[in-house]
Structure 1
Amino acid sequence: MTSLQNQSSVRSLTLGQVRFTYVVDGAMAFPPAGFFPSVPPGEWTLDLLDEHGMVPMSAGGLLVDIGERRLLIDAGLGPMRGEAGGGTVNCGSLLDTLSGLGHHPSAVDVLALTHLHPDHVGWAGAFGRHAVAAAEWKASPEMAWLAAPSLLEDGDEVVPGVSAIVTPGHSPGHTSFLITAGAERLLCFGDAFHHPLQLNHLEWGSGPDWHGDSVPAARRRLIDEMLVPGTLAFAFHFGDQPFGRVSRAADGTIAWNPVPSTVLAGPPRLLA
């Protein structure tokens, strides 16, 4: 069973000939009022929070085995434990999780980055080839240690079957990745959404958003993609519901519907 209240297990899903695996780095949790300042307090029902009244948000990377290529999208937070960003974190297991799946970082052809916030680049230095949106790279001089990444524009192909959707808002060049798997697709939407509550309120931003006024348009474009028949989605931070579909009811309401996935291992780290 999956739940928004729990940290994510290491989960795998296969579509056609493409295998997706959430390579979990560790656990994070943030206070709802602090991380989601525009969400009315009454929206936070007990089934959305962990036992400490926090919003669970695992960190990690999405491993995509597609054709002859192996792509990793994002690289977790890296070794960190304790208080961070107003919340609590316990991360640092991504390479161990990857090893448990039978892979060394050298087996990854390219690390594609949705954006350059700390909880998505923690292990980036362990991988040899990187790809990131040109706008994101230009706005992040502190990431100069990331040697010569391939710079992406909206619509560019990272590897065959994987294209970039650049939608500034959460960050200057925040990028989602659309993966084609035969007749189906999967959209990895990064941090465009941190919680399913935001699917119905595009204006409900997140604390780290770079330009909140741009977020609703970015989200609208991604929802339109997710509503295309045969499209699934991947969420880094939706508790233990990383894989799902969105649906639209007759009244226009958008729902997140978790889909079954194979549990390969439990959460590698938990919060005290």
Structure 2
Amino acid sequence: MSTDEERLRRPSPVRSLELGEFKLSYVPDGVVRLKPRGWLPGTTEQDWKDNAAFLDDTGNLVATIGALLVEYGERALLIDAGLGPLSQPDDPDNPLIGALGGGELLDNLAKLGRRPEEIEAVAFTHLHVDHIGWAWHPAPGSDRPAFSGAGYLLAEPEWNLRHLRNAPETTDEMLAALAPRVRTVREDEEIFPGVRVLPTPGHTSGHTTYTITSGDRRLIAFGDALHTAAQIRHPEWSAAADLDSAESAVHRHRLVKELQRPDTIGFGVHFADVVFGRVDDTADGPAWVPVA
């Protein structure tokens, strides 16, 4: 097995890259195993024989859980906030996910030299529980969330239509904890130097991608528009958790085309140990190539 294939089936450690004046770092919080035929219900047994490199020794997709730290000089933005200190074992009756666990994000921020109180804003791709964890959960030894100085940024439809959410795991209690800090943002709004809002609904009503641009280079942080690098070649594969599978597929096709443009890097928060990559054209179609 090649090193790149090994990376497709293991969780990612902290990984960083430079993009002009930015330092961009994946901050791990935990991992979840996704059951491939359940999570991507349009796939077949043959599809996973053809894409066996993406499956671990339990036959599942390894999906990292974490956040993207965007550092611009002394300033710091976080995109998503992990799961928090929660865990659950595999339930054989759950057709979608196996074992999951989180809780490592604050320790990994410390390894990167950042204290939670230095984060000036947390920009969420959407309101699912594995993306808002440390924004609502009290910090260790405290009764308040960890990011004490941060505002919480959410696309208008994601926040205003939160009652339509398709994820019962995100409770009213969690949303109430977020509410005092929420500020809604709009398409193409610059929320941090070089960071802009790009709506990609489908997974949720207001699912949001963020673009980070420095000169002629850019990074696209696409959240749960794609859950696995296998979808780069198969953007028609929608997730069972998508609110609108047809709309999510439209945005996946567009994102894959954008990621094929020169000087463009992608960030896939659930992409096992290949969270940073570019999309190259191959004889078999577009392919995700890790860059960090």
The answer, yes or no, to whether TM exceeds 0.5 is yes
Residue in 1 aligned with 2:161?
139
The CA RMSD over aligned residues, in Å, is 1.7
Could you tell me how far apart the structure 2 residues matched to 1:181 and 1:67 are? 13
| Equivalences, count | 259
Residue in 1 aligned with 2:168?
none
Residue in 1 aligned with 2:195?
162
Question: What is the CA distance between 1:200 and its match in structure 2?
Answer: 2.7
Q: Which runs of 5+ in 2 are unaligned?
A: 91-95, 137-145, 164-171
1:195 aligns to 2:228 (yes or no): yes
**Between Structure 1 and Structure 2, which shows a larger proportion of helix residues?**
2
Q: Which runs of 5+ in 1 are unaligned?
A: 262-272
Question: What is the CA distance between 1:43 and its match in structure 2?
Answer: 2.2
1:43 to 29, 42, 47: 47
Q: Which amino acid aligns with 2:63?
A: M
Residue in 2 aligned with 1:208?
241
Q: Which amino acid aligns with 1:102?
A: G
Residue in 2 aligned with 1:254?
286
Residue in 2 aligned with 1:64?
70
Q: Contact (CA 8 Å) 1:17, 1:182: kept in 2 or not?
A: no
State which drifts further: 76-85 or 115-124. Answer: 76-85
1:107 aligns to 2:107 (yes or no): no
Q: Contact (CA 8 Å) 2:22, 2:70: kept in 1 or not?
A: yes
2:19 to 15, 19, 27: 15
Q: Contact (CA 8 Å) 1:38, 1:205: kept in 2 or not?
A: yes
Could you tell me how far apart the structure 1 residues matched to 2:244 and 2:204 are? 7
1:223 aligns to 2:256 (yes or no): yes
Could you tell me how far apart the structure 1 residues matched to 2:45 and 2:198 are? 32
Deviations 1:25-73 (A, max 9, x none): 0121121112111122222243211121111001000001124521100
Could you tell me how far apart the structure 2 residues matched to 1:150 and 1:122 are? 18
Partner of 2:225, secondary structure, is coil
Partner of 1:70, secondary structure, is strand
State which drifts further: 214-223 or 25-34. Answer: 214-223
Deviations 1:135-185 (A, max 9, x none): 000122432321241211111111120001011101100001000123311
Q: Contact (CA 8 Å) 1:69, 1:159: kept in 2 or not?
A: no
Q: Contact (CA 8 Å) 2:235, 2:256: kept in 1 or not?
A: no
Deviations 1:1-21 (A, max 9, x none): 451111111111112221111
Q: Contact (CA 8 Å) 1:114, 1:190: kept in 2 or not?
A: yes
Question: What is the CA distance between 1:250 and its match in structure 2?
Answer: 6.7
Residue in 1 aligned with 2:37?
33
Partner of 2:15, secondary structure, is strand
Could you tell me how far apart the structure 2 residues matched to 1:158 and 1:227 are? 25
Could you tell me how far apart the structure 2 residues matched to 1:163 and 1:38 are? 32
Could you tell me how far apart the structure 1 residues matched to 2:181 and 2:204 are? 20
Could you tell me how far apart the structure 1 residues matched to 2:156 and 2:176 are? 13
Deviations 1:220-253 (A, max 9, x none): 33223222211101111111000100123477x2
